[in-house]
Amino acid sequence: MSKLRLATLWLDGCSGCHMSLLDTDERLLELAAQMDIVYSPLVDTKQFPERVDVVCIEGAVSTEEDEARLRLVRQRSGLLIAMGDCAVTGNVPAMRNPLGAEAMLRAVYRESPVLAPQIPIEDLPRLHGHALPLHRFVPVDLFIPGCPPAADTLFAALAALIAGTADGLRLDTRFGA
């Protein structure tokens, strides 16, 4: 049987969900026996592969670039998992939403005491007005809430995927867990 091709993606998040994934510790070896991590901030690949079986996405969609990457990844992936509260609800990145992008940039870059107040625009993706969860843009197959989801939760989800028992999977987690 060929190994499951797993990718992970890091959008607008703190990388805590990826840390939680690493927190599965020695169980990573167990997972590695059955899946290849073909694309991830944790590995060296630069281009998202043409086809992966599963992608776990951390973070909200906050910029034009985030959205473009998400849409591309959706096309190239079999199963898309929203990993953690930012991907599931917007969470902390979405705390700026009531303000709007303009006002937030002003507050951070112009109204705070820095030497040369300016709003950075060159080489940076443009911010969306709102930071939003993945399912506002593309269909999501599995939601794993938690900030971050516990290592056990992530392991349980991936183990179920490998075992083919992910349908109707009920994970022991919650928003803010």
Partner 1 sequence: MHREELAALAAEHQRHLDTFAHHIFVCAGLGCPGNEAIVAALRSEIAERQLQDRVLLRKAGCMGLCALGPIVLIQPGEIAYHTVSPDDAAEIVASLDREPVARLRLAPDLPFFARQHKNVLALSGRIDPEEIRDYIAAGGYAALCTALATMRPVDIVRCIQESGLRGRGGAGYPTGLKWATVAKAPGDKKYVICNGDEGDPGAFMDRSILESTPHAVLEGMIIAAYAVGASQGYIYVRAEYPLAIKRLRLAIREAERRNLLGHAICGLGFDFTLQLRLGAGAFVCGEETALIESIEGRRGIPRPRPPYPAEKGLWSSPTLINNVETYANIPRIVERGPAWFSALGTERSKGTKVFALTGKIRHAGLVEVPMGMNLREIIFDIGGGIPDGHAFKAVQTGGPSGGCIPAEFLDTPVSYESLNELGSIMGSGGMIVIDETSSMIDVVRYFMEFCMEESCGKCVPCRVGTAQVHRLLTRFLEHRATAADLAMLEDLCDLMKHASLCGLGQSAPNPVLSTLRYFRQEYLDRIVPAEPATEEQA
Partner 2 sequence: MSAPILTLTIDGRQVSGLASETVLQVAKENGIAIPTLCFLEGLSATGACRLCMVEIEGSPRLHPACVTPIQEGMTVTTDSKRLFGYRRAIVQLLFSERNHVCAVCVANGHCELQELARAFGIDHIAFPCRHPALEVDASHSRFVLDHNRCVLCTRCVRVCGEIEGAHTWDVKNRGIRIQIVADLDTPWGAAATCTGCGKCVHVCPTGALAEKGKSMAEMRQKRPFLPYLVANRAEERK
The separation between CA 122 and the C-alpha centre of its own chain, rounded to angstroms, equals 25
143 binds partner 2 (CB under 8 A): yes
Please work out the total of residues on this chain that contact partner 1, with binding judged by CB under 8 A.
Answer: 12
- Binding positions for partner 2, 31-70, rule CB under 8 A: none
Out of 42, 99, 150, 159, the residue judged to bind partner 2 by CB under 8 A = 99
Helix axes 27-34, 151-163, angle to 10 degrees: 20
Rg of the chain on CA atoms, in Å: 17
- The three-class DSSP label of residue 118 is coil
Out of 137, 141, 160, 177, the residue judged to bind partner 1 by CB under 8 A = 137
- Binding positions for partner 1, 43-102, rule CB under 8 A: 67, 71, 74, 97
Considering the complex, state which of residue 27 and residue 74 has its C-beta at the smaller distance from partner 1. Answer: 74
Greatest alpha-carbon pair distance for the chain in Å reads 59
Alpha-carbon distances of 153 from 84, 107, 140, 147, 148, rounded to whole Å: 10, 37, 18, 12, 10
Considering the complex, state which of residue 45 and residue 165 has its C-beta at the smaller distance from partner 2. Answer: 165
Q: Interface with partner 1 by CB under 8 A: which residues?
A: 67, 71, 74, 97, 128-130, 132, 136-139
